[in-house]
Structure 1
């Protein structure tokens, strides 16, 4: 029997797998505001003498702002103030973008800005070779003009500095595709509460009992931790009475502790949807403050900020004052101050 041989057609190119990779360049940005108070007292320090800001970290490197009230170098004849950003930590060939802004303190927003950001750079980002390398301006501002400008107020200058450290990395093709579901730990703990298994503490609220788990409560709330495990812990965990709280509010509190989310307010209160939401948020904010549940307190504060109305603003303002909710208080006061909101009262 003969042998069959398969020959490649020399006129057709062979097909080989194609792989890809992408080189990415991006900036890690950070900013710092530097105030120079008592500017007039800094004059006369001498050419090359500076006032430095505190160091701040951007892109893994330390940076500082240097202000020279009598100029950085002698050739400027001390007629200008100088302003620089300096690398304040060890680094080699650190590439970065910079922005220096002398803030207009008159409210007219006429700031003096020198920036790399948002414009085409002919030679690319600035490279700093070693600790102490600087970028900035020897002749940043003529002193005589500065001292009669809106940049100087109450003998104080304010400088804003932004640094964007350039990072480069290469991405290759992924060799896997593993779908990772979102976290459902709240759902798991919620089922633990709903199932009622392994409970070891009971609460009585307005004649109704609720079973729960000491460790979960203590982990979520420092107040429950002290009540259940502290030196002055409640001895009778078979039935701990909760005073001054209504049943729907305690239900919502437990729901958040286990689920880490707000429950459906309409299911808990027999009112119209709008008033149920506001009323529950008011009571729940007080309960959250009582048990030091800061995230729940902020959720309630945000909810109440959205729902300020003529019928609820007085109660909400009193709650904001009592429980130290500064943003909610500000929203209520602004609402009250608006003439349109008080029409028909």
Structure 2
């Protein structure tokens, strides 16, 4: 076979990219009655509620008399444990013991702001732990500002490492996607060539029928379908807020999630609530990619105040991943969630979800008991960083063989 290299190739170039990132989340853990916890004995712990980050459940374990008998209760130990099924979960961690004097001199151990020689820590299976055997000398802790009114307070942040691949993308002339988005956004901002006006409440928005039709099957049917009217110059929209429709247009023209503070002109805007409304609008207008982006964002912003309304939204708009995360979060924080206004709305709008929530509560309790059993059997894997007394970082495999590495 002879190839003439002087002739131009008709084959399209292609590209893809792998993006490594962390899905971050935090949990606040308060221990009241610290003095009553002392004397439990080495290896005995107080556990936080389980919390979900990056699709996995986690828990904080505090050992008031230390984890190791050989330390003779001289130190308190703190660990973060993987509390759900997972294999080789890679994550970054941060543990903060809060200074309660108001001086802000917190005790922080963090992976997020420093380079790690061997990369993120790997937790092999449910029950694997990372933390500090000698987190703080107990005599120093009890005379410090970290202990106030017999109460300790700590903050944990977990960043689960995820790898996602974008592509393949085919193109004959390489044009960065951001340039295309900026060009279209420029058309919207300057209202250049706009041929339709949307009346949304008290506000009006001008746009381009062809661009809307190219991005949304609903707009395509409205303007160019069998019963559509390509000559319509004005459209009234109901059941959508002006700020949400403005955010929807921003995505259609830029292919990016909007900044709600810029959209609304307010710094007090709750992004989770705005994202809920935007997901509903994306589903209404057939913008599947926007719907997935909203779902992923809401998965990261689940809180006790919004989880009930987000769960109802996930059920109504068929968002399975968001629904599963909301069920787990609500099940592990049920007492607080039931006191929220959103829970009353959930009872009224989707009563069938209450039975699923009870099933999830039962499942979480069962998993918690299994995790506790594994802790007592001593089959966990420990990944230790620098201890409070400047010790050597080490890890321990299930057979008890210690592996030292330089720090």
Higher helix share: 2
Larger Rg belongs to:
1
> How high is the TM-score relative to the length of structure 1?
0.50
> How high is the TM-score relative to the length of structure 2?
0.42
